[in-house]
A and B are shown apart, each in its own frame.
Chain A
Amino acid sequence: MISYYPKPAIQAFSLLLLLYLAGCSSSQSQEPRPVPNSGDRAADFSGFWELDYSQSDNIQTKLNTLVRELRQQSQRRAPGGSSVYQQAGGAVMIGGPGTTNSGASIIGLAQMAELITQSQLLEIEQDENNIKVKRELDFALTCQFYLGQYHKVETPLGTEVCGWDQHQLIFKLVLPEGLTVQHVMSVGPQRQWLNIATTVISDRVTSPFTVNRVYSRYQPQDTGYSCKMTISRGRVCTTESQ
Chain B
Amino acid sequence: MYNGITVSQRRWRNAALALLCCLGAALSQLVNAQQAELAAAVPVGSVNLVVAQSSSEQERLDVGLVIFNPGIPLDASTHSMLGIFPEIRKAEAQFMPVLLRQVLVASDAWGVVRVLPDHQASAELLVTGKILQSNGTRLVILFTARDATGRVWVDKAYADVATERDYPGVEGSDPFIDLYHQFANDLLAFRQRLDSSQLRSIRQVAQMRYAASLSEEAFGSYLAEDAQGNYTVLRLPADGDPMMARVERIRNQEHLFVDTVDEQYVNLYEEMAPTYNLWRQYSLEQAMYLEDFEVRAQNRDRIGQRGSFTAMEQTYNTYKQIKIQEQDLDDMALGFNTEVAPTAMEASGKVFRLTGTLDTQYNEWRSILREIFAIETGLPPGA
Contact = CB atoms under 8 A, between A and B. Distances in A.
A80 interface: no
A146 interface: yes
Contact of A177 (B312, B331, B337): B312
A224 interface: no
Contacts, number: 140
B271 A144 contact: no
A116 B313 CA distance: 9
Contact of A232 (B268, B323, B324): B268
Contact of B275 (A179, A202, A231): A231
B2 interface: no
A139 B316 CA distance: 11
Contact of B336 (A157, A202, A204, A230): A230
A112 B316 contact: yes
Interface in B277-335: 279, 290, 293-294, 297, 304-313, 315-316, 318-320, 322-324, 327-328, 331-335
Given A232-B91, A232-B272, A232-B275, A139 B327 contact: yes
B373 interface: no
Nearest to B19: A148
Interface string A172-188: 01011111010000000
A149 interface: yes
Contacts of B306: 177-178, 203-204
A155 to B, nearest CB: 6
A138 B317 CA distance: 9
Contacts of B328: 229
B77 A231 contact: no
Contacts of A181: 316
B319 A173 contact: yes
Given A112-B309, A138-B320, A140-B327, A231 B279 contact: yes
B20 interface: yes
A66 interface: no
Interface residues of A, number: 51
Given A157-B293, A203-B307, A175 B332 contact: no
- Taking residues whose C-beta sits less than 8 angstroms from the other chain, chain B's interface range is 35 or more
Contacts of A203: 306-307
Contacts of B27: 149
Contacts of B336: 230-233
Interface stretch (A19-27, A67-75, A103-111): A103-111
Given A104-B307, A203-B307, A233-B271, A175 B316 contact: yes
A151 B76 CA distance: 12
Given A105-B308, A108-B307, A232-B275, A129 B76 contact: yes
A177 B100 CA distance: 47
A175 B307 CA distance: 12
Contact of A229 (B276, B307, B332): B332
A234 B275 contact: yes
A109 B310 CA distance: 10
A47 B312 CA distance: 31
B316 A6 contact: no
A68 B91 CA distance: 57
B322 A157 contact: yes
A44 to B, nearest CB: 20
A195 B305 CA distance: 32
6 contacts: A144-B80, A147-B23, A157-B322, A175-B316, A177-B306, A231-B88
Interface of A: 4, 6-7, 10, 99-100, 102, 104-105, 107-109, 111-112, 115-116, 129, 138-140, 142, 144, 146-149, 151, 153, 155-158, 173, 175-179, 181, 202-205, 228-234, 236
